[in-house]
Amino acid sequence: MNTSRRAVLAAGAAGLAATTTLTTGAPAQAAPRHYPSKRHFGTLADGTAVDVWTVTGGGTRLQILSYGGVVHRLEVPDRNGHLANIALGFDNLADYVAKSPYFGGLIGRYGNRIAAGRFTLDGHTYQLPLNDGANSLHGGTQGFDKRMWQVEPFTRGGDAGLVLTRVSPDGEMGYPGTLKVRVTYTVTARGDWRIDYAATTDRPTVVNLTSHTYFNLAGEGSGSIESHTLELAAARYTPVDAGLIPTGELARVAGTPFDFRRAKPIGRDLRRGGEQLVYAKGYDHNWVLDKGISTTPGHALTLTDPPSGRVMRMYTTEPGLQFYSGNFLDSTLVGTAGHAYRQGDALALETQHFPDSPNHPAFPSTVLRPGTTYRTSTVHSFSTR
């Protein structure tokens, strides 16, 4: 049964007009059937209430937390129409706060690593918190994935979504400039999930926003993703040093385990001697997308789970893609449905500019200046085969 049908029944049982339970923050009469709904998810230690929002469209059901903009659940149908939650997560807020390795998080100000947490811009050197050995990862100790977001629901034609906004103060986590951030999560009428990121600043700064959903197309907690097949439209990747910082080289994937230009099972070359095993315990690298930077989202990859038939295609305006094969999941975290997550039980596919770009002038720039707007978009398109 879909959400709105359940809500109608619940409202009927309570003797209320059906539409009143379907809406949040908008006139009940005006609300289309697929208007996003919210409920209480948990309370932070400082008393802040956290909501979980549900957005539906096509066969897709997306749940987002006002804490961290976290993708809490993402349900899509298999070839027989059966829904599974394909995103790793927790069933409670406390675990997200205390333990999450960025499950579903909205990552900012800078996705992935900045070497030594340091960069120089216009002659000023900025120091960020070091939270990954000697480096700064995913925006520092209190990145955007650990902050509260303002959430406004909307519908537009057959699409439904949420606009998340937040003002990151000048100097937050060491980054210069007051950054006004606006992230739009849309579930389209056909069930695609789109993310549009926008940001402005009042001082020169660097920005690299992404989403850190851990995918398992067979369903979270169902086992390894090694038999998923991945096609990744990238002839090059950025090799890394021991701290997973790019060396600066754009190496060819041809003849290496990094070659996903033709779809292959993720596990096929995972254990084949190669750079992926030297420092990262698996794939944890940035691929240089053949499409380059674009103004509209271009094809990046196709991920398929052959047994269920679920297919996810990703399109992005970004030039890079961090493919992380869940190497550091070690069975200590118990997920949404009560199953422990082991190494390789999910993969993250983070559209982005390249890691450590502020220290690599030859990489596409992540600098944002006052008067210009940072804009990137990524589409996750679901189908079955």
**Rounded Cα gap, residues 208 and 110, in angstroms:** 4
Out of 75, 220, 318, 350, the active site residue is 350
3-state secondary structure of 277: helix
Q: Which residues contact 204 (CB under 8 A, 6 or more apart)?
A: 121, 122, 176, 177, 367, 368, 369, 370
**Rounded Cα gap, residues 359 and 152, in angstroms:** 36
Q: Which residue lies nearer to ligand BGC by CB, 86 or 88? A: 88
Q: Which one of 96, 350, 358, 377 is in contact with ligand BGC (CB under 6 A)?
A: 350
Q: Is 212 among the catalytic positions?
A: yes
What is the side-by-side strand order in the sheet with 320-324?
214-215, 347-352, 320-324, 284-288, 236-238, 251-252
58 CA to centre of own chain? 20
Q: Which one of 328, 365, 372, 385 is in contact with ligand BGC (CB under 6 A)?
A: 328
By the 8 A CB rule, do 324 and 279 touch?
Answer: no
By the 8 A CB rule, do 51 and 69 touch?
Answer: no
User: Judging by beta carbons within 10 Å of its beta carbon (0-12, 13-18, 19+), is residue 294 exposed, middle or buried?
Assistant: middle
Amino acid 362 reads: A
H/E stretch holding 182 reads strand 179-187
Q: Which residue lies nearer to ligand BGC by CB, 155 or 211? A: 211
Tokens standing for residue 121: 């811009």
Q: Which residue lies nearer to ligand BGC by CB, 20 or 331? A: 331
The site that binds ligand BGC (CB under 6 A) totals a number of residues, namely: 10
Q: Which residue lies nearer to ligand BGC by CB, 36 or 105? A: 105
Q: Which one of 4, 112, 316, 383 is in contact with ligand BGC (CB under 6 A)?
A: 112
Tell me how far, at minimum, the Cβ of 366 lies from ligand BGC, in Å.
Answer: 16
Q: Is 101 one of the binding residues for ligand BGC (CB under 6 A)? A: yes
By rule CB under 6 A, what string of x and - marks binding of each residue 136-155 to ligand BGC?
Answer: --------------------
Report the DSSP beta bridge partners of residue 167. Answer: 180
Q: Which residue lies nearer to ligand BGC by CB, 104 or 177? A: 104
3-state secondary structure of 8: helix
Tokens standing for residue 88: 């790793």
Binding positions for ligand BGC, 209-268, rule CB under 6 A: 244
Residue nearest to ligand BGC (CB): 101
Q: Which residue lies nearer to ligand BGC by CB, 243 or 265? A: 243
**Rounded Cα gap, residues 287 and 233, in angstroms:** 9
Binding positions for ligand BGC, 297-326, rule CB under 6 A: 322, 324
Q: Which one of 35, 102, 185, 323 is in contact with ligand BGC (CB under 6 A)?
A: 102
Out of 138, 212, 285, 353, the active site residue is 212
Q: Is 106 one of the binding residues for ligand BGC (CB under 6 A)? A: no
Tell me how far, at minimum, the Cβ of 216 lies from ligand BGC, in Å.
Answer: 15
Q: Is 181 one of the binding residues for ligand BGC (CB under 6 A)? A: no
Q: Is 152 among the catalytic positions?
A: no
The residues assigned a catalytic role are 212, 350
Give residues in contact with ligand BGC (CB under 6 A). Answer: 101-102, 112, 244, 284, 322, 324, 328, 348, 350
